[in-house]
């Protein structure tokens, strides 16, 4: 057995970290935790995020098809609900996907992630940056 095989059988785990939430958000609701827990991104997460732009384009085509059969007001609601009411950059889409997939606690849905990005952009960025930092460090021994 090679040295790498020996390492493979050690107890590895995906690291997590706490990202403190903005105090004003906690003031708005004292039931919120003091921090969010994020985890490192796995190879599966990396591949999923890499394909996010393709999925977004497919979703936009679907929404546009549905919108042609609806009133313009309903079409705008569909676009907004799908997060397609503007032209976000590929970088932003990537950040949203990582925060969505790698925030372990509390679990977030797309609507909450987009809201955080608009309302608390530095907190959103801190979540993303911590995920990238953990991913760069890789798994931890003994987890």
The predicted model scores a pTM of 0.75
* Number of domains observed in the structure of the chain: 1
pLDDT at residue 54, as a whole number: 72
35-39 and 103-105 beta bridge pairing: antiparallel
pLDDT tier for residue 70 given thresholds of 50, 70 and 90: low
Q: Are 76 and 85 in contact (CB under 8 A)?
A: yes
- Coil, helix or strand at residue 141: strand
pLDDT at residue 25, as a whole number: 92
Domain that holds residue 97: 3-141
H helical segments located in the chain: 3-8, 23-28, 43-50, 52-68, 72-81, 90-102, 110-119, 121-137
pLDDT tier for residue 118 given thresholds of 50, 70 and 90: very high
Mean pLDDT of all residues in 30-50: 93
């Amino acid at each position: 057995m090679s040295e790498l095989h020996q390492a493979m059988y050690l107890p590895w785990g995906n690291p997590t970290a706490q990202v403190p939430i903005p105090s004003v958000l906690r003031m708005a609701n004292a039931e919120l935790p003091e921090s969010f827990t994020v985890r490192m991104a796995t190879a599966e997460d990396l591949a999923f995020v890499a394909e996010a732009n393709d999925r977004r384009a497919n979703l936009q085509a679907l929404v546009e098809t549905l919108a042609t059969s609806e009133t313009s007001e309903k079409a705008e609601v569909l676009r907004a609900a799908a997060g397609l009411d503007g032209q976000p950059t590929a970088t932003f889409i990537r950040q949203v996907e990582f925060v969505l997939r790698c925030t372990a606690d509390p679990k977030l849905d797309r609507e909450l992630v987009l809201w955080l990005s608009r309302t608390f952009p530095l907190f959103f960025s801190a979540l993303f940056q911590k995920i990238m930092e953990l991913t760069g460090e890789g798994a931890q021994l003994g987890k």
